[in-house]
Structure 1
């Protein structure tokens, strides 16, 4: 299934593939479910995979409500209700990991297992400086330069060289669907304001924290901190893959995630 689903005050573009226990895949700052295309293809033989474009992004409809992590988490829970999903294994990448933390903290009964990929419990000064730079590039140089910067920051250099054509085609596709500077700035504010350091210690779900050692957007110490703060969380560090490891080193990323989710 792929299409619009009424959720709260808006309609979300939802992608649902496969059969089995529910697997909710929460995407990051890009906000588009197609980030998980390869992951869904891998897991759809074992799980009922569900993802969605965030409100105001991709093929979801506009909304007057300001985007925050809490709003996106409420959307995810409302979508689960709409689809008749009581509990799910939840995988969140980057901003999706922040959303997943929010769900696990505020609606623990909805989370069977939790995977936090390239995520963080709260901001660090270096993390905030990076997003100040990204905002400045977006405002001064425009969306194309901003997206190119994001790809060069988030993909390993070797991957960007080997997949240059595909990377540039992806940027072109995102530009065609770009929701606007103000909305993207709002979404980056959601990233930098996320801070659950004082709450993630209450997460009861079995948790896997996974990241790549060379992540340049959410560096390894942020994942190490997240794993320390969540009781009995397991930390998996990949040798390479940078921020977009689910796409750049998919086999390396999927192997520990598959083992954990089983």
Structure 2
């Protein structure tokens, strides 16, 4: 994967396929690899742009304060670097929060939004989950932090049926882990996010998507977002946990690609 040098940060990115550009933006883990089950289907219709967030993967691993706004600005600058004037954005969790920021602050750059397993206001459930993950990290270290992660991402039936896959996933995460300080700073930064102030300013076509068994960003988080974004569409699927795109990839791909097809960029696309 190539790297884009953007003044204070280098972002590793990948471009696959052709057509209207779609930014697939990962959540707290920050790695482009999160979208592995989805890239092929998206690339059959679109130019897919993936990147590792600042602090993760092959991008700059700076020990600093993190915020959703900082990560959103990084993504906007990556669009500038790649000469992408306007794109669809499909964001998971933190990636969706980044989409909320860009949809409000750079509306001319975002053709449509898919906000999947996303939140705009930290509630007691999400706070408990993220605080526990931070305590595991602080007391037990990076490896145990990654070993605990599947319990927050995946529903019980998926954990039951994919133990070997999840063991490989955890081993890869441990091998590529950022430092304890970066992991904690990223978690702290997303806990501080206040997305409510942006929602009323979003005017692009928006799909809000959540699984009913998501324990990290439960359906009421998506219901709040959808209620505040004018004209948005809310879809609640029966199962898939916080990682619906990985648990039920075919269903996720079909839902999302159908939405993007209904809201083409048209003559405004330029790559």
| TM bracket (short chain) | over 0.9
User: 2: CA distance between counterparts of 1:227 and 1:44?
Assistant: 27
Name the SS for the 1:204 alignment partner.
Answer: coil
Contact 1:8 / 1:75 at 8 angstroms: preserved in 2?
no
* Structure 1 segment 90-129 matched on structure 2, within 5 A: 90-129=89-128
User: 1: CA distance between counterparts of 2:212 and 2:143?
Assistant: 27
User: 2: CA distance between counterparts of 1:251 and 1:43?
Assistant: 11
Compute the TM-score of the two structures, normalised by the length of structure 1.
Answer: 0.96
Asked if 1:142 corresponds to 2:134, the answer is no
User: 2: CA distance between counterparts of 1:144 and 1:158?
Assistant: 24
Contact 1:88 / 1:110 at 8 angstroms: preserved in 2?
yes
Contact 1:131 / 1:188 at 8 angstroms: preserved in 2?
yes
Unaligned runs of 5+ in 1: none
Compute the TM-score of the two structures, normalised by the length of structure 2.
Answer: 0.93
User: 1: CA distance between counterparts of 2:115 and 2:155?
Assistant: 20
Task: Tell me which of the two structures has the higher relative contact order, counting C-alpha pairs closer than 8 angstroms and 6 or more residues apart.
Answer: 2
Deviates more, 1:202-211 or 1:156-165: 156-165
Contact 2:61 / 2:182 at 8 angstroms: preserved in 1?
no
- CA drift at 1:65: 4.8
Matching residue of 1:219: 218
Matching residue of 2:239: 240
* Structure 1 segment 157-236 matched on structure 2, within 5 A: 157-236=156-235
- Which consecutive segments of 4 or more residues in structure 1 shift more than 4 A? none
User: 2: CA distance between counterparts of 1:155 and 1:148?
Assistant: 12
Name the SS for the 1:183 alignment partner.
Answer: helix
User: 2: CA distance between counterparts of 1:29 and 1:256?
Assistant: 23
Name the SS for the 1:66 alignment partner.
Answer: coil
Name the SS for the 1:150 alignment partner.
Answer: helix
